[in-house]
């Protein structure tokens, strides 16, 4: 009587190392799956990169105008609109401080800062850069504040129009 070993039914290894599937197409896709996952994650990060990276500065859309004689003033205020169109937020930046146009206390602080800078620099002219989306009554309110602070001349900053169409 002849005995066979149950431990090693096939010479050269067990069934797991010797099994070769009939269709290699499926096994090729399985080997490619981790690389495909990595490629999709990299693609996702590249697409979101522009939204993740903070852009320095704020874009202020100045109104177009023909260049003319203006005044040079060290006192500069920038008024802009941010937020969604349904709920815009109006802000003014003066001397590296942000002021909300909807808050009377902050407007009083802006008036005091304008008056202090006017006295400190002995300057009575203000250059106001206003975003084109800012509403007219906010712009008039800023000009009134500047006059109350003792400013005698207010220059509105614009961007030059190109001569060629």
* Domain locations in the chain as residue ranges: 18-52, 64-160
pTM value is 0.56
In the predicted model, residues of the chain with pLDDT beneath 50 are 4-6, 8, 54, 163-165
Instruction: Return the CATH number of 64-160, one of 3.30.420.270, 3.30.420.40, 2.30.33.40, 3.40.1190.20.
Output: 3.30.420.270
Enter the tokens of residue 126. 């203000």
Biggest CA–CA distance in the chain, Å, is 120
CB contact at 8 A, 102 and 48: no
Tokens 């802009």 correspond to: 80
Residue 165: per-residue pLDDT: 41
For residue 112, the model assigns a pLDDT of 94
Partners of 129 in the β-ladder: 78, 157
């Amino acid at each position: 009587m002849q005995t066979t070993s149950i431990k090693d039914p096939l010479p050269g290894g067990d069934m797991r190392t010797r099994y070769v599937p009939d269709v290699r197409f499926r096994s090729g896709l399985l080997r490619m799956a981790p690389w495909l996952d990595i490629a999709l994650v990299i693609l996702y990060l590249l697409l979101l990169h522009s939204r993740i990276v903070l852009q320095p500065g704020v874009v202020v859309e100045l109104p177009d105008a023909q260049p003319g004689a203006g005044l040079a003033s060290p006192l500069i205020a920038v008024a802009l609109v941010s937020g969604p169109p349904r709920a815009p937020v109006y802000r003014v930046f003066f001397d590296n401080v942000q002021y909300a146009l909807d808050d009377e206390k902050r407007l009083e602080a802006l008036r005091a800062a304008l008056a202090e800078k006017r006295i400190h620099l002995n300057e009575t002219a203000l250059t106001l850069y206003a975003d084109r989306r800012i509403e007219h009554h906010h712009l008039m309110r800023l000009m009134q504040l500047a006059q109350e602070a003792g400013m005698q001349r207010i220059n509105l900053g614009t961007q030059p129009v190109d001569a060629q169409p």
